[in-house]
Amino acid sequence: MELRQLRYFLTVVEEANFTRAAAALHVAQPGVSAQIRQLERELGQRLLDRSGRSVTVTEAGAAVLPYARAALAAVDGIRQTADEFTGLLRGRVTIGLVSGAATHEYDVASVLADFHDAHPHVEMALTEDTSDRMLAAVREGRLDIALAGLADDTPPQGVSWQVVVDEPLAALVAPDDPLVARAVPPPDDGNGRGSRSASGGGGEGSGDAGTPDGVVPLTALADRPLISLPRGTGLRAVLERACTRAGFTPQVAFEAASPQLLVQLAARGLGAAVFPAPGARIAAARGLRVIGFEEPCPRGRIGLAWRTDGPAGPAARAFLTRLLAALPVRAEAPPDPSRSAPRVRVVPTLDAPPRPPRTWR
Domains of the chain with CATH codes: 1-86 (1.10.10.10), 89-361 (3.40.190.290)
Q: Residue 357: its pLDDT value, please?
A: 35
What pLDDT shows up at residue 277?
A: 61
List average pLDDT for each run of 10 residues in the chain, which is 361 residues long.
90 90 90 93 92 89 90 80 65 83 66 87 87 90 89 87 88 90 76 45 42 87 91 89 93 87 88 76 76 88 88 85 76 43 34 36 33
Closest Cα partner for 277 from 241, 323, 330?
330
- Count of Cβ atoms closer than 10 Å to residue 90 Cβ: 18
**Residue 190 pLDDT:** 54
**What per-residue confidence (pLDDT) applies to 253?**
93
pLDDT at site 104: 52
Written as one letter, the residue type at 282 is: I
Residue 21, phi then psi, degrees to nearest 5: -65, -45
pLDDT at residue 240, as a whole number = 93
CA-CA distance, 8 to 28, in Å (whole number)? 11
How confident is the model at residue 200, as a pLDDT? 41
- pTM of this structure: 0.62
Q: What's the N-to-C CA distance of the chain in angstroms?
A: 19
Which pLDDT belongs to residue 351?
Answer: 35
pLDDT at residue 85 in the model: 58
- Residues 319, 91: contact at Cβ < 8 Å? no
Specify the pLDDT at position 361: 33
pLDDT at 92: 84
For residue 296, is the peptide bond before it cis, meaning its omega torsion is within 30 degrees of 0?
yes
Integer-rounded Cα Rg, in Å, for the chain is: 24
